[in-house]
Amino acid sequence: MSVQTKPRRWDPVVKLTHWSIALAVLANAIVTEEGSAAHVWVGYALASILGLRLLWGLVGPAEARFSAFPPSPRKALAHVSEIRARTASEHASHNPLGALMVYAIWSCLLVIIGTGIAMAGLPGADERQDEGGRAAYAASLVDVAQGRDEEADIGAEQAEHAEEEGEHEEGPLTEVHEVAANLLYLLILLHIAGVVFETRRSGRQVVLAMLPGRR
């Protein structure tokens, strides 16, 4: 097997965003209470850091740009053949298999962030939401008072109301948020396994290249 010892180059923005994203994901997966204020604020921070990284993919240095690691199943398959042939070519950015993983992780994060913000609202929207919540509660009281005799109607209205509320709190958004979070955990395990595998295979210190001070 050809051995590459030349370290990959990652600029400080890629390194900083990588470890902050990892920290934020760990925090929301293990530390913060689901749906708590801390969870949501870590979520907003995560959204900003990912936003910065994605912007960097357009304007950052060559190896950080999307153009350096396009998502290409064809190249990923060629890379698998290379692994089986026990050869290792050099990549200035993520290898084609790693690139697919990076886009999968980012997509998952975007779904989690999108559903999270759809449930929690944008920062500063708390007051507006509280007012909305009070109005909805008052409206539901009126509904109940008006339809006290007609139990079937109350049931239907409440079901309808719960469905509307659910769009913001308990319903499909929560489901998608949770499924995407579980998928993300799986991708992260595969990602770390991939990093370990690539380190052994290529002889490159793949992780050191992601740490501060190594360029």
Q: Which residues bind ligand HEM (CB under 6 A)?
A: 8, 14, 17-18, 21-22, 25-26, 28-29, 34-35, 39-40, 43-44, 46-47, 53, 94, 98, 102, 105-106, 112-113, 116-117, 119-120, 169-170, 174, 177-178, 181, 184, 188, 191-192, 195, 206-207, 210
141 vs 192, which CB is nearer to ligand HEM?
A: 192
Q: Taking Cα atoms as reference points, which of 211, 199, 183, 190 lies closest to residue 11? A: 211
Report, in Å, the least distance between residue 38 CB and ligand HEM: 10
Burial class of 11 by CB neighbour count within 10 A (0 to 12, 13 to 18, 19+): middle
103 in Cβ contact with 111 (< 8 Å):
no
In this complex, which beta carbon is closest to ligand HEM, that of residue 18 or of residue 157?
A: 18
Q: Of 83, 64, 80, nearest to 72 (Cα)?
A: 80
CB 188 within 8 A of CB 25: yes
Token pair, residue 6, equals 């030349």
Least distance to ligand HEM, CB of residue 82, Å: 15
Q: In angstroms, what is the minimal distance from the CB of 119 to ligand HEM?
A: 4
CB of 99 to ligand HEM, least distance (A): 8
